Amino acid sequence: QVQLQESGPRLVKPSETLSLTCTVSGGSIRSHYWSWIRQPPGKGLEWIGYIYYIGNTNYNPSLKSRVTISVDTSKNQFSLKLSSVTAADAAVYYCARAVAVTGYVFDYWGQGTLVAVSS
């Protein structure tokens, strides 16, 4: 059973960089695509981007200038960096696996981690 677990600071100051890591267990990161998705409190889901284990990435155009997703296959982890955060970036951040069917679907999700933005 594949499991994903987000980790990282729960509080980030405005204008600083949000950094989160997702640890994958029960399966290898050397397959499928791996994504970050966020959900502001009381709002809907927003896709941030994905990475393939060899490093190919794609980002949401609305966040592209501030987002970097990277992968560490030796640790079975992938990471998110979101720069110049504001209050609008406060959200529950999920990591998820995207598996190819017809298109891709997010079949495994982490439990999510709530990140607040405040000085």
Partner 1 sequence: SYELTQPPSVSVSPGQTASITCSGDKLGEKYACWYQQTPGQSPVLVIYQDNKRPSGIPERFSGSYSENTATLTITGTQPADEADYYCQAWDSSTAVFGGGTKLTVL
DSSP state of 66: G
**Choice between 11 and 45, CB closer to partner 1:** 45
Only segment of 9-17, 41-49, 71-79, 80-88 that touches partner 1 (CB under 8 A): 41-49
**Least distance from C-beta 74 to partner 1, angstroms?**
26
Q: Can you tell me the distance from the alpha carbon of 25 to that of 48, in angstroms, rounded to the nearest whole number?
A: 22
16 and 34 in contact (C-beta within 8 Å)? no
Q: Does 5 bind partner 1 (CB under 8 A)?
A: no
Closest contact distance (angstroms) between CB of 119 and partner 1 is: 27
Q: Which two tokens stand for residue 63?
A: 């966040």
Q: Does 101 help bind partner 1 (rule: CB under 8 A)?
A: yes
Report the C-alpha gap between 86 and 55 in whole angstroms: 27
Q: Is 107 in the site for partner 1 (CB under 8 A)?
A: yes
Alpha carbons 69 and 46: distance in angstroms, whole number? 15
Could you list the residues that contact partner 1 (CB under 8 A)?
35, 37, 44-47, 50, 58, 60-62, 94, 98, 101-107, 109-112
